[in-house]
Copies of this chain bind each other. A is one copy, B any other.
Amino acid sequence: MDSIKKLADLFGKFPTVGQRTASRFVFYLINQPKEKIDELIGSLQELKNNIKLCRFCFNPFESNEAFCIICQNASRNKQLLCVIEKEADLISIENTKKYNGLYFILGGTLTLRKTDGSNLRLQALKERVKEGNFLEIIIALNPTPEGRSTSVLVERAVKEISQTLKITHLAQGLPVGGELEYADEETLESAFEGRK
Contacts and interface: CB of A to CB of B under 8 A. Distances in A.
Interface in A6-63: 6-7, 10, 14-16, 20-21, 23-31, 34, 37-41, 43-48, 50-51, 53, 60, 62
A4 B28 CA distance: 21
Interface of A is mostly: helix
A48 B10 CA distance: 15
A181 to B, nearest CB: 4
Please state the number of chain copies in the assembly. Answer: 4
Nearest to A47: B3
Given A171-B172, A187-B175, A180 B93 contact: yes
A4 B62 contact: yes
Nearest to A191: B170
A6 to B, nearest CB: 5
A161 to B, nearest CB: 20
Contact of A4 (B2, B47, B170, B172): B47
A172 B169 contact: no
Contact of A175 (B24, B84, B174): B174
B24 A88 contact: yes
Contacts of A116: none
A91 to B, nearest CB: 7
Given A28-B14, A51-B30, A195-B169, A184 B174 contact: no
22 contacts: A3-B43, A4-B51, A4-B60, A10-B39, A14-B28, A23-B91, A30-B47, A30-B60, A37-B44, A38-B48, A40-B44, A84-B180, A88-B181, A96-B189, A98-B189, A144-B179, A169-B195, A170-B180, A171-B174, A171-B192, A173-B174, A194-B196
Interface of A: 2-4, 6-7, 10, 14-16, 20-21, 23-31, 34, 37-41, 43-48, 50-51, 53, 60, 62, 84-89, 91-93, 95-96, 98-99, 107, 138, 140, 142-144, 168-181, 183-196
